[in-house]
Structure 1
Amino acid sequence: MEWSKALEQYRQYLKIERGLSDNTITNYSFDVQKLILHLEENEIASSPLTITEEEVQHFVYSLAKKVNARSQSRIISGLKGFFNFLVFEDYRKQNPLDLVESPRTGRKLPDTLSTEEIDSLIAAIDLSTAEGERNRAILETLYGCGLRVSEVTDLRLSDLFFKEGFIRVTGKGSKQRFVPIAKATQKYIDLYREQVRSHIDIQKGHEDTLFLNRRGKKLTRAMIFTIIKRLCVKTGMEKKVSPHTFRHSFATHLLENGADLRAIQQMLGHESITTTEIYVHLDRTHLRQVIESFHPRR
């Protein structure tokens, strides 16, 4: 079996049987492609079915010289999934990465912004342009609803249930959830829809897409990164800010103001509560306040 055929079958498995998103499937594919490139560069002729533990170990050693521990761990995890698939389909008898351990990475706390910093970024948007109204609505939605960047770009008009106070979000693995949306965020989206979007020549297939570029097509993830980067330069903000920073800030601010961790989990769309628990580590003051307020021996 050639690598290209094995990789294509793996992609189909991830899409059909596991229901993963296109972005996740692409990331898993990149992990396998890195191994394929390594074999080609070192003139190793092994196939997906014949590659040995030693050959995979050599690749892992080479990774340590190129990427950090967190990236190593992610690539190793992706490759384990690929070879587990081959074992599951009876193409191989064992996974050549069974004895390969991922490097310890620790738990990295996410970067967050204060409400003042978020306000300053949004205030720096030039609202005299059509894109300015759109960009304000995007950032207000990122922060106001705690969405992933792909969830924002995928938002549709048919996902907006403003009368009920919710939006329908399609997250990882095409799983859907309803997230509360504040009146202020609704207002900015409505302003964009009425004053900007209604005047765009919308391309076929994008009629239901909420946030559009000037050509009437769905915005890319990269464009939202660029919007935020330009605002950081404009305001002189030195923090490393991405769309995900707004999501982290959303969760952190909710927790600091007394929100229940389970509720935050549901709004973020985390499958496991342990993923949400990382926000507990951000603010020790909040934890002490919880003890002083609710513990019977306070």
Structure 2
Amino acid sequence: MMRTPRPLPTELAESFTVAEARRLGVGRSRLDGPDLERPFRGVLARIPAASSSSPDLAEHARAEIVRLARAYSTRMPPTEFFSHTTAAVLWGVPVPLPLDRLLDVSVHRHRRAPRARGVRGRELDPRLVHVTVGDGLRLTTPASTWAGLGSVLRHPYDLVAAGDAMVCLRTSKGGNGFSAPPLATLDQLRAAIDAGRRPGVGSLRDAFGRIRTDSWSRPETWVRLILIDAGLPEPSLNVDAYDDDGRFLGCVDLAYPDLKIAIEYEGAHHWQTAEQFHRDIDRLDRLVENGWRIVRLTKSHVFITPSEVVRRVLVARGQRLAGR
């Protein structure tokens, strides 16, 4: 029967260096315990407990990058900082994650880029990159982070989606209204583009004009761009719908309000809890009862068969324009 490892000193965080542990009197055998891993040389991290639920795989991967970044930060010299995809994840910006799952760790040019297992080291021009501290971690500012993604994101829609997330003014007027300040402004993104020559600057310029401040998610951005590129009118984003007496019905992801067409992306969050599931059913039923036509889309529609997105919206628009 495996013994339960002895408790570690309370002074040690979730991640810590071997040197810190030894200073606190932790022996070598305890540092080799089954509850600890060595993600980087000289660094130990507590192994997370297995979740009893089935989390979204993408969210799990992002959480793992955050955990590893915190672990690496314990050995990070003051000249290093997180950048590119890693910085985007740390800012909470939705980006597709590289299959190698390496951390992007950078230094300013003329310093030696880090070389370590689990790390992709980079040397960056200090004129093009600004560094800040967020939640205790050194990383590129939101605007610099977005500008760095121009050379690493493969699909142009994802670069727009990242920009949308940076400037998002997340507000809803109806129901339990909420708001959150944006990570960056459009002026700051433009300044990052104009700071000088950088890899991917052409992609950044193309994406900049398509960024909107009222998109709340990567799928919403993709749906909007799919429809625009198919020649359809640009839909409104996150529209608060009301009945004829001014009562709030709900906020819809995308809409053609003049035709009372709502376009809803059915993401995993809709089924996370029974309460959320019932809330969404009630919201959509209220919209239908008040004359709204609902187009429901899934991850497969948006990211695998975008032609189906266009077809469904064309059908809904055709029926409404024909008076049906």
Name the TM-score, length of structure 1 as normaliser: 0.28
Higher strand share: 2
Q: Which has the higher contact order (CA 8 A, sep 6+)?
A: 1
Name the TM-score, length of structure 2 as normaliser: 0.26
Higher helix share: 1
